[in-house]
Amino acid sequence: MILFWNMNSKKYLLVMMCVLLHGVLYAQQEKRFLKHHISILTEPAMEGRGYVHKGNEKAAKYVVKNMKNYGLLSVMPDSAYLQSYYFAVNTFPDEVFVSINKKVLATGADYIVDAGSSSINIERGRVKMINLNKVKDTTQWNTMKASFGGNHIYWLKGVDSFNKRMHTGMRHLAKELPAGCYIVPVHGKMTWTVATEQIPATIIYTEDTVMPHYPRRGNVRIHAAMLPQNKNRNENVIACVPGAVKDSFVVFTAHYDHLGRMGSNTYFPGASDNASGTAMLLYLANYFSNSPQHYTMVFIAFSGEEAGLLGSDYFVQHPLIPLDHIRFLTNIDIMGDATDGVTVVNATEFPKEFSLLQRLNSASGYLPQIKSRGKAANSDHYHFTEAGVPSFFIYSNGGKGYYHDVFDTGASLPFTNIEAAAKLFVAFAKALNKPY
């Protein structure tokens, strides 16, 4: 294209430069906003947003503080922003130590402790190899289990094939093991979780490449503390931007909780899962606080997701807004890298809204692709869907695969296309506020 060099062309060029510069600065502003909140939510003071040192409560207070600062209102008569509920959880608040043949293993990187494990203290325990491939039936297995005990560390080999042969899984096996210390070698990624009950055994999953070829002796010191239900308060955060129609709602949700600590020296930052989604929720809350819509915009930050979608389940059982007045709900999880676009769970359940999302994306070229997925019980949208609330769960596709591990840090997130995802969420919410 050739532009003639005259005053009108100069004015045109100046206008175009200003438009382009505004777009770049706006995108940078979005990224700075998200990075800022992710940085705070993943810092050590948040304790991994789990149940040691009340990390979950610290995170809830942080979300409330920002919702208030943005001018969002409470939906509750007493003007509170928090919905409290309780559940039991197993924790590892202080000592977690494992060494084999005098080699100290790195907590979180070389090994993880089964989330339901009990406390144990073994000094110079003999490592005994147990080949589960020799177990052919339940009778043999019961005989073998009866032999476990003493100051030994049992290295279980062939666990995967054993579970297939016995038509069971690792969770069931863990509950079956008697009190004692067990090492289960793992090839590839290790992921931690949250347990709401404690098992008799202490199970250590180790990266198989870090274990010595001939393990002889080991030291294992693990302190587990079971928090009873009445001692573990959890809180959902809910706030709103009133619309012209006060009693109909467009809702965004995300969970702010994560896995917490595995001992006093190791915590799980949970940047992608789900500080990123929480930061996106705060971004949308801030945006719509300055741009009220036709319907009331509601923003909910759930706790207890990692423990089994407990926060969203409690909310659906004790709703603070009428569930049948929710026009649509969008749950956001894992929002650190959309290199390959996003995936929409429940796309097949709500084809009209999925088609709307696709049209918005195609019209503005926000993301390279939007993938369709069916119904799944994999995040906080699930209980709403089961209660008849139309809802999506949207997560980004990309990243280095860090998930439920110590490597999921803010520095690991590239934020590719995340500004575009934010724009798509805004456009989707605005479209939901109109007939379509």
d(CA 246, CA 292): 11
Angle at 300 between CA 321 and CA 241, to 5 degrees: 70
- Confidence band of 436 (pLDDT split at 50, 70, 90): low
Query: Is residue 49's pLDDT more than 60?
Result: yes
d(CA 312, CA 254): 10
Q: What share of the chain has pLDDT > 70, as a percent? A: 93
User: What is the reported pLDDT for 14?
Assistant: 46
User: What is the reported pLDDT for 12?
Assistant: 43
Q: What number is the average pLDDT over the span 398-414? A: 95
Query: Is residue 83's pLDDT more than 90?
Result: yes
User: What is the reported pLDDT for 18?
Assistant: 40
Query: Is residue 22's pLDDT more than 90?
Result: no
Q: Tell me which of 208 and 119 has the higher pLDDT.
A: 119
d(CA 264, CA 115): 15
Query: Is residue 387's pLDDT more than 60?
Result: yes
- Confidence band of 28 (pLDDT split at 50, 70, 90): low
User: What is the reported pLDDT for 68?
Assistant: 97
d(CA 436, CA 431): 7
Query: Is residue 16's pLDDT more than 60?
Result: no
Contacts of 11 (CB under 8 A, 6+ apart): none
Beta bridge partners of 207: 186
Q: What share of the chain has pLDDT > 90, as a percent? A: 88
- Confidence band of 30 (pLDDT split at 50, 70, 90): confident
d(CA 369, CA 251): 23
Place of tokens 């995300």: 254
Q: Return mean pLDDT, the chain.
A: 93
Q: Which two tokens stand for residue 394?
A: 């949207």
Q: What superfamily in CATH does domain 33-88+229-432 come from?
A: Zn peptidases (3.40.630.10)
Q: What number is the average pLDDT over the span 42-52? A: 98
- Confidence band of 383 (pLDDT split at 50, 70, 90): very high
**What DSSP letter does each residue of 358-386 carry, written as one string?**
HHHHHHHT-SS-EEEE----SSTHHHHHH
pLDDT tens by residue, 50-64: 999 999 999 999 999
User: What is the reported pLDDT for 25?
Assistant: 42
Q: What number is the average pLDDT over the span 282-288? A: 98
User: What is the reported pLDDT for 79?
Assistant: 86
User: What is the reported pLDDT for 338?
Assistant: 97
Q: What number is the average pLDDT over the span 364-377? A: 98
User: What is the reported pLDDT for 35?
Assistant: 96
pLDDT tens by residue, 297-329: 999 999 999 999 999 999 999 999 999 999 999
Fold match flag (33-88+229-432 vs 92-225): no
User: What is the reported pLDDT for 371?
Assistant: 98
Q: What number is the average pLDDT over the span 281-305? A: 98
387 alpha carbon, distance to own chain's centre = 22
In the CATH hierarchy, which top-level class contains the domain 92-225? alpha beta
User: What is the reported pLDDT for 140?
Assistant: 94
Q: What number is the average pLDDT over the span 53-77? A: 96
Q: Minimum mean pLDDT among 210-214, 238-242, 354-358, 375-379: which range?
A: 210-214
Q: Would you list the domain boundaries of the chain?
A: 33-88+229-432, 92-225
pLDDT tens by residue, 138-195: 999 999 999 998 899 999 999 999 999 999 999 999 999 999 999 999 988 999 999 9
